[in-house]
Amino acid sequence: MSESDRDKALDAFLGLIAEKGFADVSLREVAQAAGLGFADLYRLHPDKMSLAAAFMARIDAEVLAGTASSDDPEETVRDRLFDVMMRRYDALKPHRAALRALRRAGTRDPVVALAMGPALRRSMSAMLEAASVPSEGIPGALRQNGLLAIHYAVSRVFDGDDTGDLSKTMAALDGRLKTAERWAQFFDKYTKSPSGRTSQEPPVSPEP
């Protein structure tokens, strides 16, 4: 399948779930809307969760394409995470209805929520790495969880943000990241190494 066909399939899927909801769209309908044979689509995406993962991967790629090759030494971890996540919301803005449909599906069906988990975690890992925050190992997994919690909270604001510059989303993200930064500083203060040096790894902690 060509890259054009891949884009047609994903665009058809996003349009259909935005209109009808995730549960009411079949894979066969996606193939028909994209002008593709069902077997051709099935070879690439055997189920709707595969298409949902492809959507998240497309957003990831768009965000990462705007990432600078080197960090600005004047920027803090919070600054970099803010920039990365706002670029993510800018990329998601044209697909808000489809994103809402996916969120509703995950809320109503635990199986769907569970199936979307790995793709969401990959996305959060990519966002952390784009902000030069380590995302591997147990500390990285905690950071992924923290950023995912922040993303869930901010997404509710983003969903109803009717401002042209997403100012409400920016304010919500800034507030959550400031809280995470305070928690990180608190834990750094009380988890010093035996030599008395504080760990310099910048964790991301969810707001309680």
**Per-residue pLDDT tens digits for 143-178:** 999 999 999 999 999 999 999 999 999 999 999 999
pLDDT at residue 174, as a whole number = 96
**Per-residue pLDDT tens digits for 34-52:** 999 999 999 999 999 999 9
- Three-state SS string across the chain, please? CCHHHHHHHHHHHHHHHHHHCCCCCCHHHHHHHHCCCHHHHHHHCCCHHHHHHHHHHHHHHHHHHCCCCCCCCCCCHHHHHHHHHHHHHHHHHHHHHHHHHHHHHHHHCHHHHHHHHHHHHHHHHHHHHHCCCCCCHHHHHHHHHHHHHHHHHHHHHHHCCCCCCCHHHHHHHHHHHHHHHHHHHHHHHHCECCCCCECCCCCCCCCC
* pTM for this entry: 0.85
pLDDT at residue 208, as a whole number = 39
Examine the pLDDT at 70 and tell me if it is beyond 80.
yes
pLDDT at residue 188, as a whole number = 60
Window from 30-34, 56-60, 154-158, 201-205 with minimum mean pLDDT = 201-205
Q: Tell me how far apart the alpha carbons of residues 180 and 189 are, in angstroms, rounded to a whole number.
A: 14
**Per-residue pLDDT tens digits for 97-136:** 999 999 999 999 999 999 999 999 999 999 999 999 999 9
